[in-house]
Structure 1
């Protein structure tokens, strides 16, 4: 334990020496924002970087250091930063006014694009975040089925509202007293537990909510047949199946549901469909989504001042039009190459590290075995992740503090080569900490 602290302390000193202006900005920010930030995931010790500019695959901090961005704002910047075509579309929209309480052509164009692209979506509604998307999808499911509860997977992230967030990750004292009455929690990749829950409580359960690939929990892929089994269970017990594709929409033209050949009843989206601007959307079967039709008596209300605003939708249309199968396959190919480079270092060094990867998303875990659910990720050595993270930052590679890595379409072979070399240097430096 002492050796861990000594190594980490040395890396922190290097980080502080490289980023004095970021340190200064953090100290000022901490006077006005708790923790000096307004997003929990942006914080890491000793303090987060202050990024001044981003272009293409690179971030530039306020001290002038350059980083290859392997985080891409947690998968949302699928075409990298300040993409010329997307920026042009957003700027053109900006000149026409940003938001008004009426239909705009972009709403029609983008809804048609997404309905034609994603297998499950026959009708769609726009909102402002993934949190809103899952919140309204759950509300739609409960209203449609006339039931009040959902099944979610332990450790899954579906936003910050109570029904989405409640599970073993949190102290239950922060939630309303009776919230647990409306949530049943099961491990990911465990369809047997879900069937046990449904066999006892199907009359109370409106939907099964699942990320086709667990994101925040560590890019955990579904076992073969797992998603198909959830589809069959939903049909058998007359509940809805909701896919949270906020992160996984990037995996194929029609998202993970097309990749795995399983069609849910409702789909939640955000991140890439906003082209770098705040966005959310949810859609699915016509008979479910038609509940939101305000021309009908007793419709299900859905508001939001900036739902479907012109700038977001203009950038989103451009982003999704650019994200064709060739670009997706390019990202996937480069992702495989980076995975293989890291695996080669791990194998040569006999380091207890595993990688989980699906398409252009991967996660590094300091575990002996690949995790198949959230509970198994808890065996990963958090101290080693912290050390690796800061070593990578000191060498110009920007990943999530928890080990998430994802690619953008503007990345090159040279970026992958540089990242592979940096991972090799960092992991080899850590070998004395990893002797078993």
Structure 2
């Protein structure tokens, strides 16, 4: 048997061992899963939360900690895939929700809070106009549709491995349930190839949409040169540049675009900005967004029963203005940068083929020493080791995404970062022969 085959067999054996312990230690989560399979396909209503042999079921949470159905405690380093920035039941958010509940929930009418929230979002992220939705998926769907109408062009440039919501998944090139737009698939961070594609499709290209750091594809930042090229080339051919900052708007007071110095035509938002409630938004240049102005005879329709629901408006406003201030954003992301540097230092000291990518309060683990420039590079890394890392972290009381993604929430402090670093150090020592 070759050295590679022996190593793979050892990894498989380690995985089988940790999964057996996982099944034995989580009987209540298993029972919940079996029950759920009777009423939901695969016991699941959100694909990303499923993993074999079965997912843990959480019963309560507070601050940056959660407890599962079998009483195990976890430090929440997942942060609801960036949406849980405020932690669980932040007192300022809770007070805003309680106050809103005292006055009713959904009015079926305009309310006094939405304009204040809209102004806060516009001022924070440099938008001229904004409209609210209920998810990042919905925000991206509307932004793409708006760009196609505004430019009178059909084609949408996306990037292999990118993700813009439930109907915009481009891992492996695309998904059978994607919205049926005319896509042009490009390679993230490939300046020359992307420039050539833009020129090739110039007459029909309505927009280019991307995250300034790919989130679900492995926390892979775009180079500044790549983003500045996209801004220049879209302007040259008359296409719109749409930045999906559903995740990355948390990485700086004005979103990641403010750090890079690229001003898109439209930006989409979601996740944490709703204060933990269902939320999405899209906004940007007034001349584009004003196509939705209902005072116009040719106005585009934009429906959504809960677009301005008072719970989201209240929680979002309190979070953005009273909790996640510019100073708080800078502090949280500095903590994330320091943590990622610390973890990478441990990997380097151990001589392990393992690294953590990301920016600020978002990070992801990859089992390779090769540079990660796009999601395809991330996919080449050892996925079985990533699965082993996931189960080992659970055993140490660290909650993270099965795909290796982690985010910091505001309640996470030095003690929690120390706990994660200690767990990673133990993983490096215990699994040394596999790394």
Moved more, 259-268 or 322-331: 322-331
2:142 aligns with: 136
Give, in angstroms, the shift of residue 80 of structure 1: 0.7
Structure 2: gaps spanning 5 or more residues? 1-7
Moved more, 195-204 or 77-86: 195-204
Q: How does 1:326-365 map to 2 (within 5 A)?
A: 326-365=327-366
1:168 lines up with 2:151 in the alignment: no
State the alpha-carbon separation in 2 of the partners of residues 109 and 249 from structure 1.
Answer: 19
Alignment of 1:157 with 2:159, yes or no, is: no
Instruction: Please give the per-residue CA displacement for 1:330-366, whole angstroms capped at 9, x wherever unaligned.
Output: 2223223322332232122211012212011111101
Alignment of 1:221-240 (within 5 A): 221-240=221-240
Q: Which residue of 2 aligns with 1:285?
A: 285
Q: What is the match of residue 127 of structure 1?
A: 133
Q: Please, which moves more after superposition, 355-364 or 324-333? A: 324-333
* Secondary structure at 2:220 match in 1: coil
Q: Which residue of 2 aligns with 1:307?
A: 307
Aligned-pair distance for 1:259?
1.5
Report deviation, 1:13.
Answer: 2.2
SS at match of 2:203: coil
Aligned to 1:411: 412
* Partners of 1:80 and 1:408 within 8 A in 2: yes
**For the Cα contact (< 8 Å) 2:162–2:170, is it kept in 1?**
no
User: How well do the aligned residues superpose, as a CA RMSD in angstroms?
Assistant: 1.4
How many Å apart are 1:228 and its aligned residue? 1.2
- Give, in angstroms, the shift of residue 303 of structure 1: 0.4
**Deviation of the 1:167 alpha carbon:** 6.0
Which position in structure 2 is the counterpart of 1:78?
Answer: 85
CA distance in 2, matches of 1:203, 1:336: 41
Paired residues of 2:86 and 2:276 also in contact (CA < 8 A)? no
TM-score, scaled relative to structure 1: 0.95
Correspondence 1:23 to 2:58: no
CA distance in 1: counterparts of 2:245 and 2:137, whole angstroms = 12
Q: Indicate the SS of the match to 2:276.
A: coil
Measured in 2, the distance between the counterparts of 1:302 and 1:215 equals 28
Separation in structure 2 between the aligned mates of residue 311 and residue 203 of structure 1, nearest angstrom: 44
- What SS does the corresponding residue of 2:214 show, helix, strand or coil? coil
Question: How many corresponding residue pairs?
Answer: 427
**Contact in 1 for aligned 2:159/2:170 (Cα 8 Å):** no
Q: Distance in 1 between matches of 2:383 and 2:239?
A: 38
Equivalence for 2:241: 241
Structure 2: how far apart are the matches of 1:420 and 1:167? 30
What is the TM-score with the length of structure 2 in the denominator? 0.95
Counterpart CA distance in 2 for 1:74 and 1:315 is 18
Structure 2 CA distance for aligned equivalents of residues 329 and 285 of structure 1: 26
User: Structure 1 residue 375: deviation in Å?
Assistant: 1.3
Quick one: distance in 2 between partners of 1:175 and 1:234? 24
Q: Deviations over 1:136-176 (max 9, x none)?
A: 00111011111111111111110122xx335634455x568
Q: Tell me, in whole angstroms, the C-alpha distance in 2 between the residues paired with 1:41 and 1:427.
A: 27
Structure-to-structure mapping, 1:5-24, within 5 angstroms: 5-24=12-31
